[in-house]
Amino acid sequence: MDEEIMKSYHEAVEVSRKRLLDEIKNPSLSNSQQIIVHKWEEEDVHFVKTNAANTILQLFTTDACVLVKGAPGDGKSTTIRHVALILHSMNKYEIVPCKGPNCIEKYYKKDRYQVFVMDDLCGDYSFDQREADEWSNSFIKEFMTRILELGKAKFLTSVRLQICREDRFKVFNFLNYKSVDLSDRKMVTLKQKYKILTEHLTGDAAKMLEKHKDRISNITGKFLVKKDGVFTPKHNELFDIICYYFGTKEQDIFVQHAHAQVIGQRTVFESFNLKNLIQFTILIKKENDEMYFLRMVKNICDGKIWDAFNNFQLLYILQFKLRFVAYLERLSDTEKDKMVEIRERSEGTSISMPVSLLYVASYFGSLHLVKFVLKHSNVQLKDDQEDEYPPLIASCERGHEEVVKLLIDKEANANQSGHLGTTPTIAAIQNNHMNVVKVLIDSGADINKDDHNGMTPFLWACVLQREDIVNLIDKGANINETSRDGSSSLFWCCVMGYQELVCLLQDKGEIGSISKPNIDGKTPLMAACYFRRFNIVQYLLKHLTSYDEVDKNGWTALMEACFNNDNGSWNRFLKQFDKQTSIWIPLFRLLSKKGDMIDAYYKIIEKLVERTNLNLQDAYGKSALHHACEGQYNHIVHILTEKGASVNLVDKRKSTPLMEACFSEDNDTVRPIMEDSSNGCRPIIEQLLLNAADVNAVDKRGWNPFFDGCEKGNFTIVKRLIRFVADVKKRYRNVKTPIEMARECRNQGIIDLLIQEGANLIINANEEADSVPEMGHSYHKHDFSDTSSDGSNTEEDSSVQNFKHYISDDRIKGETLLNACIDENEDEVTDLLESALENHVLDFSNRYGKTPLLEACRVKNVTIVNLLLEAGANVNEGDAKCWAPLHEACNVGEKDIVNLLLEKNVNVNACDNRGYSPLLIASQNGYKSIVELLVDHRAHVNISSNVRITPLLAACTKGQIEITELLIVKRADINKADVYGNTPLMVASYYGHCEIVDLLLAKGCEIDQKDMKGWTALSWASKGSSKGCCKCIIDASVKRKYKNLVRKPSDDKI
């Protein structure tokens, strides 16, 4: 019995472990959010289409934020949920239900299309000032503005009509929202309202309501929802009526027992005689005023301080504040002690911190209440309290200058530290309250005290580009201080792209600060190059005396510039943005986004090559040319070779730039037409060969691109290189000749080329007896051959023996499983699975990151793939270049394997190092059935690669007409261009795909759109010598212009 219990326990632990690992690798929505969205889907079947929903969808084509306003019962919630579901089903947006800005910050993913849905912005019943304060935070404003500008995030929210009419609602103007008013009859017509009524209220239900109005149980499900024994109204308008009824008829019970938020947001003292109150506002009778104050005190003593302060009267009616403070003064000392000592402990609040009454009062700027607390006790201002949430920091964060002065007068320490080491001065600078900063400095605050990350107030001011930076310098700010990672203020400004600050800091900084590196050896010039700040690079080059500094990995500024994508050398610097818990970190990630201007990108390189040593090598022996060839950056290779970069320089593996170019080249990669001869650039391999690249050089393995092309069956590479090969009969590592490799991969084209160059096609008797291995298997065997410590070649048996000596048995078992998958030995795979699970090598990977599942997908063995998946293989595990099983299945066109992977909840939008998604791979290869499968499983049709190649652009490049049509039906953006400005119409025109050109023109694509060089689709059609495409474009252009000239007949009488 005990053994069974322990077995069940271990199984449960293993399931939890896998789930947690999966959540870490693939963070997504919480379970509660997924349940909410699922509920929306169930309720949406009853949605009646309205003009409002169509209007919102139309607005989202040009705008990123839409606000839906209306009175209770107008259908605000159901409308925004329906629109979100439409965006999800049609455009594959991820739906993120949220309760506030912190939720958006938590779940925002820069590489995903997301729609954030928030109901009842700024209050369910009346204006919620605390929520408004959250949104007015400087970080939230900058963060929201930035993510909406980036274009992949949409924000959809609803708000009560009376709330958005208040002057205080102007705090949301920074969202630049477009509004839709459901009270407008054009948005929801009478006919649509009647249809809604008949959909939600049947005739039987109407009769029941007439007969049993007093029986709540009879209307549960229609108007009320019962949860955990509590009835809540299903519709806001009904809730308004119920609150008003009980708040008026049973006011004493209502004040004592209603929810604190209802008390704070829906009530006003009758004795104040206020005008223009919101409908259904509850007027508290004069005899219940004391009871009302008693309830507020109870909320505070119960640890619900935020709820107590989120009170309309307390925040905005001075008479109420004075009366409440007067009531508090009459309390006993014991009650006052309890109030002062209590900490916030309510659950589920958006601000869940153990803060004190003095902190909350300081946060809201309630000067009278701050004075009351300090009059009774100022113990919370003492440094020995070790409080992570000091009241002074709260008032500095909100910019309440008078409260700040009062707290300092009461001996609050202006240099105290709060959560994450934040000081009052840093809090004020972060939120751009420079008047408060002046008060703090005048009161003796240390202008150079840093937080836990080593960020001083001056560093924060530079990062956030505050206007009064010069004043901080005048007040004694040390502009040469660095953060914990050694990054100076000048370095940070180069990252962010603040040119004026760079000039200021260079003029006022210490000598040598312009080239001062951080702990990783990164200099300001490297930062400016990596983040593509051309103007800053130009400025730095004028003031620097040396341009060839290297970081800890041997990277130079030129290498940083030559690598278009994340090169890995900035991992530590960039990962600090993910590790920190400060709400400012996501803003850093957005502000430090690379510049997008391709012209500036090339200009940086052109400037650098004039002054730097082109042949410097990093820690691995790679030069800038190595990196450019490896990344397949044609234009950069052209620039470097023209300026004299060595094409035969070898790295520590004896690899040359030519080897990097050939081994990295992918024949299926969509090459942008801008990389064609129009800009004077030849393909990379031709450029290197033209500059006398050595084709016969071999790396440490004795391998070179020619051998590799013969073994893999890459006819294009072999044809390019064969005329430069010294001996086509030479054996690779004294084992196989090129023609033997070509025979094994069954490539007759390569065999013919080799024979023409003198290769000998003699097959001995032993070879005839052996069966020819299947195409593509052999080259993977080389993953497990080894070399001696000095790099010399060894025999295979001795190599394996040495290899086993240095590695564990588990690794050998993992290799055995991997080899069995490569060889498609289904019986051996079955036998090995149990051992693989026990030894945790089911997801074993070789030095290239190839796993058993990945190789099984490559060889298209559905049975082995199914065995591995059932055993629990990681469906999302990619190789060293993030090439995952789904990529491989889409590449080889095996629909059954794609189906199996999708059933295991594979990440359908995962991208490799180039930014290629499975949908892009399938689209360019012409696998229509797989494209349909992926789209049906929420693949993003507009997802793009690192150089912004979309699936549609790939399909148009390769002439895949059916896939092009399918993607357009699924709302692919027909005008979306890559980084060079190439559109689907341009590439289809250049390659002469007339059917696709006709289709795109029929769908209304832009004809006169220009690329970065000013070329149009017609220019490219002419360049590609496609007369048919030229004719299509000219005809379509004439028709459109003629259509615009023709005027419709006038209805006016003559």
Q: Looking at the domain assignment, is residue 675 inside a domain?
A: no
pLDDT score for 316: 86
Same-domain status, 195 and 253:
no
Residue 448 in this model has a pLDDT that exceeds 60: yes
Q: Where are the beta strands (DSSP E) in 752-897?
A: none
Residue 557 domain-assigned? yes
Q: Give whole-number Cα distances, 342 to 296, 356, 379, 634, in Å.
A: 14, 6, 13, 66
Mean pLDDT across the chain, nearest whole number? 79
Residue of 949, 1043, 1029 lying closest to 989 (CA atoms) = 1029
Kindly state whether residues 218 and 337 are assigned to the same domain: no
Residues 176, 322, single domain; the answer is no
Based on the fold, state whether residues 180 and 214 are members of the same structural domain.
Answer: no
The stretch 625-630 carries a mean pLDDT of 86
Query: What average pLDDT score do residues 438-459 get?
Result: 90
Q: Lowest mean pLDDT of 290-299, 506-515, 699-708, 731-740, name the range.
A: 731-740
d(CA 279, CA 281) in angstroms, rounded, equals: 6
Within-domain flag for 630: no
Beta-carbon neighbour count of residue 651 at 10 Å?
A: 20
Contact 700, 733 (CB under 8 A): no
Find the range with the poorest average confidence among 112-116, 272-276, 566-570: 566-570
From residue 550, give the alpha-carbon distance in Å to each of 603, 735, 805.
21, 41, 37
45-73: pLDDT as tens digits: 878 888 888 899 888 888 889 999 987 77
686: pLDDT strictly greater than 80: yes
- Mean pLDDT of the 445-454 span: 89
Mean pLDDT of 835-845: 83
In a domain, 1018, yes or no: yes
Q: How confident is the model at residue 406 (pLDDT cuts 50, 70, 90)?
A: very high
Structure tokens at 922: 């399938």
CATH number for the domain that contains residue 538 = 1.25.40.20
Q: What is the CATH number of the domain that holds 27?
A: 3.40.50.300
Same domain, 261 and 173: no
Q: Identify the bridge partners of residue 116 per DSSP, sorted by sequence position.
A: 96, 155
Residues 6+ apart with CB under 8 A from 357: 300, 305, 339, 340, 342, 369, 373
Domain residue limits at 1030: 946-1054
**Cβ neighbours of 236 (radius 10 Å):** 20
1006 burial (CB, 10 Å; 0-12 / 13-18 / 19+) is middle
**Which two tokens mark 458?**
């001056």
Q: Quick one: pLDDT at residue 865?
A: 93
**Mean pLDDT, range 122-135, rounded to an integer:** 76
Residue 1029 lies in a domain: yes
SS3 of 986-1033: the string is: HHHHHCCCHHHHHHHHHCCCCCCCCCCCCCCHHHHHHHCCCHHHHHHH
Q: So what's the pLDDT on residue 784?
A: 30
pLDDT tens track for 520-536: 899 999 988 888 888 89
- Torsion (CA) 17, 19, 24, 26 in degrees, nearest 10: 150
Of residues 88 and 784, more confidence is placed in 88
Task: Report in angstroms the alpha-carbon separations of 719 from 580, 695, 712, 754, 951.
Answer: 52, 12, 13, 9, 29
| Domain C-terminal end among 178, 200, 222 | 200
Residues 182 and 216 occupy one common structural domain: no
Longest dimension (CA), the chain: 112
pLDDT in the model for residue 765: 38
| Residue 5 confidence (pLDDT) above 70 | no
pLDDT reported for residue 92: 74
> How far from 251 is each of 267, 289, 605, CA to CA, in Å?
11, 11, 75
215: left (phi over 0), alpha (psi -120 to 50) or beta: beta
186 and 239 belong to one structural domain: no
Where among 327, 343, 359 does a domain terminate?
A: 343
Which burial class, exposed, middle or buried, applies to 944 when counting CB atoms under 10 A from its CB (0-12, 13-18, 19+)?
Answer: buried
Q: Please provide residue 701's backbone torsions phi and psi, each rounded to the nearest 5 degrees.
A: -80, -5
Number of domains into which the chain is organized: 5
Q: Give a yes or no: residue 952 inside a domain.
A: yes
Domain end residue (candidates: 613, 638, 661): 613
Q: Are residues 256 and 228 in the same domain?
A: no
Return the beta strands (E) in 182-301 as ranges.
224-227, 230-233, 267-269, 282-284
In a domain, 996, yes or no: yes
Asked if residue 156 is part of any domain, the answer here is yes
Average pLDDT, stretch 442-453?
90
pLDDT band at 972 (very low <50, low <70, confident <90, very high): very high
What's CA 347's distance to the chain center, in Å?
29
In degrees, to the nearest 5, what angle opens at C-alpha 619 toward C-alphas 618 and 621?
60
pLDDT digits (tens, 9 = 90+) for 363-392: 988 899 999 988 887 776 765 445 678 899
The pLDDT of residue 329 is above 60: yes
Q: How confident is the model at residue 26 (pLDDT cuts 50, 70, 90)?
A: very low
- What pLDDT, in 10s, does the model give residues 218-255? 666 666 776 654 566 767 777 888 888 888 888 988 89
Q: What are phi and psi of 76, to 5 degrees?
A: -65, -50
Q: How confident is the model at residue 745 (pLDDT cuts 50, 70, 90)?
A: confident
Question: What is the mean pLDDT of the segment spanning 181-193?
Answer: 81
Q: How confident is the model at residue 963 (pLDDT cuts 50, 70, 90)?
A: very high
Q: In the chain, what percentage of residues exceed pLDDT 70? A: 80
Task: Residue 151: name the closest of 178, 99, 118, 111 by CA.
Answer: 111
Rounded to whole angstroms, how far apart are CA atoms 293 and 17? 50
Q: Are 751 and 739 in contact (CB under 8 A)?
A: yes
Answer yes or no: is pLDDT of 654 > 60.
yes
Minimal CA–CA distance to 754: which of 785, 780, 715? 715
CB count, 10 Å around CB of 124? 17
Quickly tell me which residue has 């615009």 as its tokens: 1044
Residue 1045 has pLDDT above 70, yes or no: no
d(CA 488, CA 509): 10
Please tell me whether residues 80 and 122 are part of one structural domain. yes
Q: What is the pLDDT of residues 249-305, one digit of tens each?
A: 889 888 998 888 888 888 999 998 888 888 888 999 999 999 999 999 998 888 888
Residues 84, 148, single domain; the answer is yes
- CA distances, 588 to each of 20, 24, 102, 423, 585 (Å): 27, 22, 16, 19, 5
pLDDT above 60 (res 512): yes
pLDDT band at 564 (very low <50, low <70, confident <90, very high): low
Mean pLDDT of all residues in 436-443 = 92
Residue (of 675, 604, 615, 606) closest to 651 by Cα position: 615
Do residues 65 and 546 lie in contact, with contact meaning Cβ atoms separated by under 8 Å? no
Domain co-membership, 194 together with 219: no
Instruction: Give 786's pLDDT tier (boundaries 50, 70, 90).
Output: very low
Provide the pLDDT confidence category of residue 110 given band limits of 50, 70 and 90.
Answer: confident
Asked whether residue 94 falls in the same domain as residue 188, the answer is yes
